[in-house]
Amino acid sequence: MSDQLGLWSVLIAVIGGAIRVSTPFLFVSLGETITERSGRINLGLEGTLVFGAMSAYATAVLTDSPWAGVAVAGLAGGAFGLLHGFVCRLPRVNDVAVGIALMLFGSGLAFFLGKPFIQPSAPPLPAIPFGFWSDLPQVQAALRVNVLFLVGAALSVLLWWAFRNTKAGLIVRVVGDSADAARAMGYDVDRVRLYATAAGGVLAGIGGAYLSLYYPGSWNEGVSSGQGLMAVALVIFARWNPLACFGAALLFGGAGALGPALQSVGISQGYYLFYAAPYVLTLALLIATSSTERALAGAPGELSLSK
């Protein structure tokens, strides 16, 4: 079948891969956007993602409900976010370093507590077959869209709107752009950042639930291939804009699917190099747009990255 389709099958596989792989990127990057917009960076979302994957899987195994798993993953992610926000409140504590520590701690704890859940199988999250109109199994497979992907897409629009039009969104932006201005307006900067980091953790935890409950759809220690860390780069790529996060997540997902898709039509040369495509892309974009003279366009003023 794939012989007849030729290179079209590569395109279909890349689109399908983009939809399938992008959801964790999307959730983690939206979470990181909320956190970074408040002026703090949480590098620990990789740990939150892995812990979310574990807790969602374990809950789904125990309760037989994947949605309970998603809820627990979100709560667990929120707890990690609160921990990060709380530790960073202490004076002279570096948020980047705390993130690295939480990455280690979160994935360590997930592997530790998740050991008994590697064997049993959990009920997966439901997907909607948008490819029903086509006879081609490839198209049908590519267009099986998970519900969480749609939730994430809606969320990116909602966040984009909320950052512009709601009081909460504006408060987060003020705190992120100038802590002094926020203090002068009477807002508790640390508390806003605490909540923003917790909200970011919730989303990253849900992204983890997608990993273990849909794609790849099982819990083991290699469930995340660094999506949580890549999402940090993705947020910069998307210029802290939730709508752009959606596009960037699709792009990263599609770039990751390119290697396997080309291999399936017999082009296996440089298979591993294609894995690096998203990283090269992000780095190239960073180099092209950064400057020593000014901060990145769209970067929150309080962010240690852009200072």
* Contacts to other proteins by CB under 8 A: 43, 47, 87, 90-94, 96-98, 100-102, 104-112, 115, 221, 226, 229-230, 232-233, 236, 270-273, 275-276, 279-280, 282-283, 286-287, 290-293, 305-306
Shortest spacing between CB 225 and other proteins, in angstroms: 10
CB-wise, 6 or 108, nearer to other proteins?
A: 108
Shortest Cβ 297–other proteins spacing (Å): 12
Q: How far is the CB of 130 from other proteins (least distance, A)?
A: 32
* Distance in Å, CB of 107 to other proteins, minimum: 7
- The minimum distance between CB 108 and other proteins, in angstroms, equals 3
- Across 230-261, b (16+ Cβ under 10 Å) vs e yields bbbbbbbbbbbbbebbbebbbbbbbbbbbbeb
Structure tokens at 215: 């794609």
The single residue listed with the structure tokens 């790849």 is 216
**Is 40 within 8 Å of 166 (Cβ atoms)?**
no
Write the CB contacts of 193 (distance below 8 Å, at least 6 apart in sequence): 35, 38, 39, 40, 85, 88, 89, 175
SS3 content of the chain, % helix, strand, coil (to 5): 70, 0, 25
Q: How far apart are CA 213 and CA 219, in angstroms?
A: 8
Closest to other proteins by CB, 132 or 271: 271
